[in-house]
Every structure is written in C-alpha cells, then in structure tokens.
Structure 1
Amino acid sequence: MKITFLGTSTVVPAAGHETACALVNGTYLIDTGWNAAIGMKSFGYDPMLLDAVFLTHCHHDHYIGLPHVFFYMCMRAREQPDRPPLKVIGPEEDVERVVDLSLALLQPERFDAVAYAPEVIPMAPGDEYTDAAVRVTTCRTAHPVPSLCYRFTEGTSGASLAYTGDTAYHAPIAEHAAGVGLLVTEASYGGLAAPADNGSLHSGAPEAARLANAAGADRLALVHCPEAKQNEAV
C-alpha cells in the first residue's frame, strides 16, 4: 500500500503548499484540498485513474478542490469514454449537498461538456466500502461537523492505514485503527497540546502521539499542521 501526501497544511496553505489531502495507491483520493487534481499531476498521477474520493468531512478546506476534479474529468472524458463514474464517499449528512454544489459551480445547464454525474455514496459511522482492491471501514471522529475516520485495508497484502481527518482526541478512533501500519492524523496546534477550551475540536502532536500509541500503530504521520509549526510538531 502506498500513500502520497499531496498536501499537509491547514485551511489556507502558503505558496507551494497544499491543504491536507492524500492519495492511496494512486486511485483513492482522501479529501481534495484546494486543488488536488493539479497536485496529483505534479506527483505524476492521472486524476482519470481515480476510483473514489473519500471526504473525511465537509469543512471548506477539505472539499474546495472537488469541482476541479470534476472539471478535469469532464475535459478528459473523450480519452476514456467508457470509464465508470467517479465515486464520492463522505458523511451522510453533508456529502450529497457538497457534490451538488460542486457540480453547480460548473454550470452544466449552460455547458453540456461539464454535465457530469458522479456516484455519491453517503456513509454513516460503521459503514464500509469494498471493491476488488481494498476494504474501507469507518468510525466517527470528534469534530464540530459530521466527520469520518477511514481505515483502508489492502486485499492482497493485508497492509492497512487509517486517516482520521480533523479531530480532537477520541478513544474510539484508536479502537478502529488498532494495529494499523500507518496512522495519519492531525496536528493543528503543532507541538502544543490542545487547549482545555478546544471548541474547534482539533489536536496537537501530543494528542496525535497518544492516539497512535493507543492504537498500536506502527507509524504516525501528522497533517493539517501550519507550515510554521511543522518542525515543532515532529
């Protein structure tokens, strides 16, 4: 299993950076950052090879690049006329609205070339997605909007990773991610612990490390961390 970090920053990235989003095995995109489609091209990946987009939650910096993904596929549709629709998976409360608004931005009622119809799969905590290559399980995270942690398990190798998206420390995530080879979680507060009045429900590196230890993860990767705080977070 291979993960490519297209971006690791938070909310508004600096020049040359991207907000937190990642690509698993070149075909599964987790969140879309500000412009994951071009980010994929920069790393040598073709967005036309995407099977699915997994939205951890529907705060703007995690889905704002979704219209770009749709537009890219529309502009390259003639190259793969028989490819199946892109699957967009996310929290059941919000994913359909975000997809509808992303498509509306392209104005398909005016321009036939961007009349795109992805397959939307709303997910509740505990739901699963399975295809020929991976099994993806979910659990709830601790964030102000409906949010999902995704655990990917590769069918052939059994390799696994869990990607939490934005969250405060939440013990059920450790249970869901138990024994993963890689835990990807956030460090919005950099090297500092989350404050007692953590109304935004984010984490710092201390909570991330605590979560990884509780899960027994082999490795920990920190994302959603401001560039200026990344060194101290590590």
Structure 2
Amino acid sequence: MLRLTFLGTASSRPTVSRNVSSLALKREGRLFLLDCGEGTQRQMMRYGVGFSLDDILITHLHSDHYLGLAGLLRTMSLQGREQPLRIWAPPGAGETLRALRDLGGDRLAFDASVHELQAGEAVEGEGFRVEAFATEHTRRSLGYALIEDARPGRFDVAAALALGVPEGPLFGRLHRGENVDLEDGRRVDPAELVGPPRAGRKVVYTGDTCPSRETVRISRGADLLVHEATFTEHESVRARETGHSTAAGAARIAREAGVRRLVLTHVSARYAERPGQLLEEARTVFPGAELARDGWSARVPFGDAEPGDPDP
C-alpha cells in the first residue's frame, strides 16, 4: 500500500478551506510527514492519519512549512510516545529545528533527532528509499522522492502447474529466484517461470520551487508528481521573484518528465475563491492534472498493475 493524504494545500498562510503545507505519505507500515506547517497536528487528527510517524522531512525553513513541528512533538510527548522520531531537513536547518523542538520547557518523552540531508542523500527503508533532491527557491530547499526497489518479474502460474510444480511454498521460492527440486528428481529453474524485473513505484514531492531541471531528472517516469503551483501565468513575474511555480510551469515539468500523474498543491490565497483557474491552466499543458485539497487521499498503484493483481 502506498497512499498520500494532503493535510495542508495552501501557500504562505491558511485560508478557510486550506491549511498550510503538509503531506502524509504512507508505505506499508511506515509513515512519513513531508513538511509540517502550523496546525498540522489537528489536520492529522481530522483526517485520520494518526501520529505513528517514523520520519518528518522538512523541505525548507519558511514558516508555513515547519512551524507546526513544535506543537506536534509536544502532543506526541503528552500522549506518551516512547519510540524515537527522526527529523530531516536541508543543510543549515538543524540549529533552527532543534530550537523549535526544545520549545515548551520540559524535555520530550521520546528522542526526536534532527539530521541534515544533502541533495542526493536518502532516508533508507525496506525495499525503498526517500531521496533528497535540490530545488530552486529563495532559500536552500529540498524536494523528496520516494523510490521503490525493482520488484521480481511476474510469476507464470499456468506454466508452473504444467511443469508439475505443486501450488504452495514452492511457488514463493521460485518467485524469489530459488531453484526448486521436484519429487520426481527434476530441477526447476526460476528463469523458466519468472519474467524480467519490474520497476517499483516513484512519488515526488517538490516543496516550494521554480520549475527546475533537477525536478525533471528525479521525476522521470514517476507514478505521481506533487508539484507546487502557487500562481497562474498572469503572475509569472511574481512567481520567478518569489521562487515559485505557475500551474502551467508545473505542468510543463510533468510533461517533460513523462510522469503518469500530476497533482498541484501550495495554492495562493488569491485563488481561494477560484482555485479552478490553476487547474484549467495546467490542463492545457498536461490534460490529466489534478488539484489537491485538504483531506484528499490518493492511492498510488503500480504502473503495470493488471486485473486480478492485489490492491496496493
């Protein structure tokens, strides 16, 4: 299972319908929080995300992306959390985040360590990694890409049965690449039954950025690109001055990178009444573009999923 829940989709300041930046990303039993604007802890409760976080990844030190961290950590401490938590951020952000972590007087009931990441470094997981990449904003910033390892090829059940392999544990051994000896003395090579390796999934979150070549590079073939779209093209000069993207600019990145799905976020308050302007603009470039809203949850299936495959 790989699922995103948008906790905050506004830029700079909250509006009536949108909180500031935060995104929950869950893969199997591991939960990541990408950015933590003010009020994130309430959004997590409101949308059923829960606080069983392993890692919080901050894209940059603009207040709408990290000020919610102090309250979230204090709440988890009051709830009796004991397991450690790791906070990741760009180079130079550690001192500020440690100071924010320590606000409130009493020590936290758990260890919350702060680590600085360079572009190209990754937070490792079982069967995947979350890789940091450089973005282009008005201060040092990172985006994050969850990249899964390659998966085994498809297992040909019909061919296995035809060879006389009984259903059960031997199927699993063959799929893992192990030779299997049958009762009649024959040895079955997994290469006879298992197709070529298949790509894992990739989800990219940009944080705040101008359109950049690095985003195109990391997003090549991504299953889902979550790209900021603070402005429309009418405000393109303002977008460049403030280190942000227009909806059309985000869509051009998605088209060039060949992503399967584009979701826009980080909506300026100037479009609070008509956020559809952003979506209309993006769809002129990338027809399948979508616009996130607070509380919206998106499942990420495998790109080669077929009817009858397990639901990821």
Common fold by TM > 0.5: yes
Length-normalised TM-score, structure 2:
0.67
CA distance in 2, matches of 1:183, 1:41: 25
- Contact 1:192–1:206 (CA under 8 A) maintained in structure 2: no
1:60 paired with 2:63, answer: yes
Equivalent residue number for residue 125 of structure 1? 119
Equivalent residue, structure 1, for 2:138: 144
Could you tell me how far apart the structure 1 residues matched to 2:78 and 2:8 are? 24
**How far 1:149 sits from its partner (Å)?**
1.2
Aligned-pair distance for 1:44?
1.1
1:124 corresponds to which letter in structure 2? Q
Candidates 235, 244, 248, aligned match of 1:202: 244
AA in 1 matched with 2:64: D
CA distance in 1, matches of 2:229, 2:212: 14
User: Which amino acid is the alignment partner of residue 164 of structure 1?
Assistant: T
Partner of 1:89: 88
The match for 1:28 is: 32
Deviations 1:188-209 (A, max 9, x none): 1146462178221111101000
1:72 to 2:64 alignment: no
User: Matched residues in 1 for 2:253 and 2:276: separation?
Assistant: 20
Letter in structure 2 aligned against 1:46: G
Q: What is the SS of the residue equivalent to 1:228?
A: coil
Distance 1:92 1:37 in 2: 25
Taking a change above 3 Å as real, the CA distance of residues 145 and 229 of structure 1, as seen in their structure-2 partners, is: farther
Cα separation, 2, equivalents of 1:192 and 1:3: 30
CA distance in 1, matches of 2:260, 2:136: 23
Given that 1:193 and 1:206 are in contact with CA atoms closer than 8 Å, whether structure 2 keeps it comes out as no
The answer (yes or no) to whether the contact 2:135–2:142 under 8 Å persists in 1 is: yes
- Aligned structure 1 segments of 4 or more residues deviating by more than 6 angstroms: none
Give me the identity figure in percent.
Answer: 28
Name stretches of at least 5 consecutive residues in structure 1 with no aligned partner.
Answer: none
Is 1:107 aligned to 2:101, yes or no?
A: no
SS at match of 1:130: strand
Q: 2:102 aligns to what SS in structure 1?
A: helix
> Is 1:176 matched up with 2:208?
no
> Counterpart of 2:201?
159
Cα shift readout 1:80-121 (whole Å, capped 9, x = no counterpart): 54x2x1110110211x1232221232123xxx5x46531222
Aligned to 1:230: 275
Q: In terms of mean alpha carbon deviation, does 115-124 or 215-224 score higher?
A: 115-124
Structure with higher Rg: it is: 2
Runs (5+) with no aligned partner, structure 2? 152-198, 280-312
Shift of 1:229: 4.8
Aligned partner (choices 20, 38, 43) of residue 39 of structure 1: 43
May I ask how many residue pairs the two structures share in their alignment?
224
Cα distance in 1 for residues equivalent to 2:142 and 2:24: 17
For 2:86, give the aligned amino acid.
Answer: K
Stretch deviating more after TM superposition (115-124 or 150-159): 150-159
Name which of structure 1's ranges 114-123 and 188-197 shifts more when overlaid on structure 2: 188-197
What's 1:211 paired with? Answer: 253
- Asked whether the equivalents of residues 11 and 230 of structure 2 are also in contact (C-alpha less than 8 Å), the reply is yes
Question: 1:197 and 1:179, CA in 2 relative to 1: closer, same or farther beyond 3 A?
Answer: closer
Amino acid at match of 2:70: P
User: For the residues of structure 2 that align with 1:133 and 1:7, how far apart are their CA atoms?
Assistant: 28
CA 1:4–1:220 in 2, change beyond 3 Å: closer, same or farther? same
Moved more, 36-45 or 185-194: 185-194
- The 1:151/1:209 distance shift into structure 2, 3 A limit, reads same
Kindly report the root-mean-square deviation, in angstroms, between the aligned alpha carbons of the 2 structures.
2.0
8 A contact 2:130–2:144 mirrored in 1: yes
CA contact 2:231–2:239 (8 Å) conserved in 1 = no
Q: Determine if contact 1:192/1:205 at 8 Å carries over to the other structure.
A: no
Which residue of 1 is the match for residue 10 of structure 2? 9
